[in-house]
Structure 1
Amino acid sequence: MGSLLTTALAGLTPPPHINPVEYDGLEYKWSIFVFRPALFQTEVYLLAGLLAYILLITVGISRNSAKVNKWFNAYRPILEQQFSKPLGKTGLTKDGYSDFYNFSTGRRNVMTLHTVFTLKPRHDFLQRFYQLARTFIDLQYRPKDDVTLDFRLSPGALTQDFVWAVVAKDELLSIKDDRWDLTFTKTSENPALPPSLSVMTEFADVTDNLLKPQLIAALNNPKMLPYFRSLSVTDQPRIRPDAPLPASSRQKHVILSLSLPSGNVEDTFDLINAVFSLIDSLSTVNLRPETKTKLKKTRDELDKTLKADAEKEKKEELEQAAEDRKAAKRRAEEERIAKLPAAEQQKVLEKERKRALRKTQGKVVRK
């Protein structure tokens, strides 16, 4: 055993470095120390690679922080004007090096506003390479620097239940995969909006109630359009729930999603101000009686479907648990029999054979 360990250690031990006797390159001497740069070429390349990697990380972190701070500092006066508590306890919070968020509260018709920044992982070379490679495979995949303003409405700010959105057409192929609530809607064109935008709504008179002049003007701003992704008003969660939501857990949101402007951040300000006006106008939404009836029917049917799916899933879980218990009991019995003497095992197996035979005969008689 000792010789094997010695052999293994000897194999792992690097050979001793032997300085060449003849050396005519650059050499530095100090006391008993001698440094010959030509002998460390590989180490120089490794060190240069490490320094380049650290530089890329530092530049990526700095660039992400600069982009977020530039937009947020310009947007902050709007927050301070609209909210009594525009910032969280720590202000703009960083979660890693590509995710930032802010929490605002203290405004009529709005319980909370979460401003969430999701940027490209410029600090992570491997993730950036993965994103680049994926763009060649998935033509719909386009990583962007995003900012999402998620307004959670106060109770009573919107008395109607519906889902409605204005979406950039280049987002239509993927948005329903990310937003379950938008699967309730149908997509249509609207002459009041630019050709690059589509309306997603359950019923037409919802659009008639929400598209006010200020919002139409903001959505037609050509400087804003390159950064617009979607604006939605919804009474449903973005991810499909596992069961019907109790009334106390139901929330209504207005969600604005933008690409983070790379140039003049003020290009999106008119739209953001229009969203605040939209929120204040939601209490005046007055839908036709037949629309209200259809919306209620849709949600009642949804609750029934969610309840049925939840009960089915629970039943399947109980059946699986029962099967697992039977399997565990069967394994325990087999292990017990395996420990018995051969004669006892033969008796048990014969008993099991006769029991199985009686069950088979009983089934034949019943038929």
Structure 2
Amino acid sequence: MSIPPQTLNIPTKQMLAFLSLLAVATAQQVSMPSQPYYEHTYEELKEMGLLQRLVTYNWKLELVTVSFTLFYLLTHFLGASYNARLVSKWVSSAEEVLDKQFASLGCSVKENVVKDDNEHYTYFATGRKNIESLTVRFTLKPRHNLLLLVSETILAFFITSIEQSVDSVNITVKYSSDAESNVDDFIWAIVNKDGMNQARIENYFLSLTKTSESSKLPTEYVFMSETADITEEVYNESENSGLTSSPTLLKYVAFTDQSIVKPTTLEEAASSKKAILYTSFPTTASELKANQDLLTSFLSLVDNVVENVKFRPETLKRVKKTREAETQKIKKALEEVQKEELENKRVEEQRKERERIAKLSPEEQRKIEKKRQEKKQRKQMKQQRVR
């Protein structure tokens, strides 16, 4: 459809005319190669009109640059939008379960989900019996940065120490104060074998557990706990089978009173009870439905741990012994650091003393050396008398 001339304003007409002339001139430049732009003299360029200069100039580098920039911006927008849609689908599906469980959903009145950056989002729920808060942290592939994504994929293929980014969901439950006081100290988890080693590396508390296979679990999973009787108390196959019904989703579910990162101070080693559900990102309708079942089973297990799970005194003694051993390791490490700092301080003081003496006159240096030798002799004589 053509645009009536009377509907165009003057700037628009001029722009269309300019683009038309530029197109014609560019076509002429392609059909009849002209003298390169930089071979023209200043006077020749000065005599040329704007359009002739545009036609004469070689725009290949600019075209490549603009094309690459536009391609980068397009992939950035598409990748960021795809990540946002993944999070939106998860939240919409999960809220069908969470809305029945929690009084308040979303991070704030204005923002249901907080976007930390294009790879990280946060969701929050509160107002439930036994639970003070439920925090969901989404981690996604850097789809907004195609160059980084491709480089990471290639490097991860050749270098085993480089982990390729994956889409994941980490749900952390913090107990209410009354519920926390009713929960014993313990570590227990169901972990997918496929990521078991990585789970140990990323979670300090799992390094304190022992692995055991069980007929109660699908072959894809193992129990990780401090003692076998903890599993007997926590896990009920008939009630908790929903946790492991979708091996493609569940990476691990864990209950712990220890920190995720290995503590280096006694304050960091203090008890911090929580429940964690770590999954891959559901994308299909069937996976989203399985994720709903997984959430329901997880929250049910949290209630069971708070209200029903109590361990025998013998079990609690072993658990306490493990924590005392870890505390002693921290104390020993802190003592070693303190000794090293004192030694470094002593060496630094000796260095400064040597520098001070080096600036003195030869006579003063001899006096100081004489005093040092006398002090050394007195010390040796004292040691001989003690013997």
TM-score bracket relative to the smaller structure: 0.7 to 0.9
- What is the number of equivalent residue pairs in this alignment? 338
2: CA distance, partners of 1:183 / 1:146? 21
2:156–2:162 Cα contact (<8 Å) kept: no
When the two structures are superposed, what TM-score results if normalisation uses the length of structure 2? 0.76
One-letter code of the match for 1:228?
Answer: L
Whichever residue aligns with residue 114 of structure 1, its letter is T
Instruction: Give the secondary structure class of the aligned counterpart of 1:321.
Output: helix
Percent identity between the two aligned chains: 26
For 1:341 and 1:140, how far apart are their aligned partners in 2?
A: 60
Q: 1:170: Cα distance to partner?
A: 0.4
1:161–1:295 contact (8 Å) kept in structure 2: no
User: Which residue, 48, 56, 67 being the options, matches 2:67?
Assistant: 48
Structure 2 counterpart of 1:317, which letter?
V
Change in 2 beyond 3 A, CA 1:66/1:286: closer
Q: CA deviation at 1:115?
A: 0.5
Say whether 1:110 aligns with 2:131: yes
| Equivalent in the alignment of 1:145 | 167
Q: Which residue of 1 aligns with 2:26?
A: none
Q: Which moved more, 1:102-111 or 1:354-363?
A: 354-363
1:354, distance to aligned residue in structure 2 (A): 4.3
Work out whether residues 243 and 306 of structure 1, in 8 Å CA contact, stay in contact via their aligned partners in 2: no
The aligned residue for residue 211 of structure 1 is: 236
Moved more, 352-361 or 178-187: 352-361
Equivalent in 107, 110, 133 of residue 88 of structure 1 = 107
Aligned residues of 1:168 and 1:197 also touching (Cα < 8 A): yes
CA displacement at 1:191 relative to structure 2 = 2.4
Matching residue within 29, 39, 49 for 2:58: 39
Mapping of residues 1-367 of structure 1, within 5 Å: 19-21=38-40, 30-31=49-50, 34-36=53-55, 39-89=58-108, 90-128=111-149, 129-138=151-160, 141-157=163-179, 158-209=182-233, 210-216=235-241, 218-219=242-243, 221=245, 224-243=246-265, 250-264=271-285, 265-287=288-310, 292-360=312-380, 363=383
Please say if residues 37 and 57 of structure 2, whose CA atoms lie closer than 8 Å, have aligned partners that are also in contact. no
Normalising by structure 1, we get a TM-score of 0.80
Q: Return the alpha-carbon distance in structure 2 between the equivalents of residues 321 and 140 of structure 1.
A: 34
Q: In structure 2, do the counterparts of structure 1 residues 261 and 332 end up closer, same or farther at CA, with 3 Å as the change threshold?
A: same
Q: Structure 2: which amino acid aligns with 1:78?
A: V
Deviation at 1:106, TM superposition (A): 0.8
Q: How far is 1:145 from its partner?
A: 0.3
Question: What secondary structure sits across from 1:39 in the alignment?
Answer: coil
Query: What is the one-letter code of the residue matched to 2:351?
Result: R
Greater shift in the superposed pair: 141-150 or 186-195: 186-195
Gaps of 5+ in 2: 1-35, 42-47
Q: Deviations over 1:40-73 (max 9, x none)?
A: 3223223322322222222221221111111112
Structure (1 or 2) with the larger CA radius of gyration: 2
Instruction: State the SS of the aligned residue for 1:333.
Output: helix
Given that 2:203 and 2:260 are in contact with CA atoms closer than 8 Å, whether structure 1 keeps it comes out as yes
Structure 1 residue 143: deviation in Å? 3.0
* Change in 2 beyond 3 A, CA 1:34/1:200: same
- CA shift for structure 1 position 365: 6.3
The offset of 1:177, in angstroms, is: 1.4
Q: CA RMSD in A?
A: 3.1
| Residues 13-36 of structure 1: CA deviation (Å, up to 9, x unaligned) | xxxx962249xxxxxx75586113
2 CA distance for matches of 1:323 and 1:252? 39
Distance (whole Å) between structure 2 residues aligned to residue 178 and residue 156 of structure 1: 29
Amino acid at match of 1:39: N
Report the alpha carbon displacement of residue 109 of structure 1 after superposing the two structures with TM: 0.7
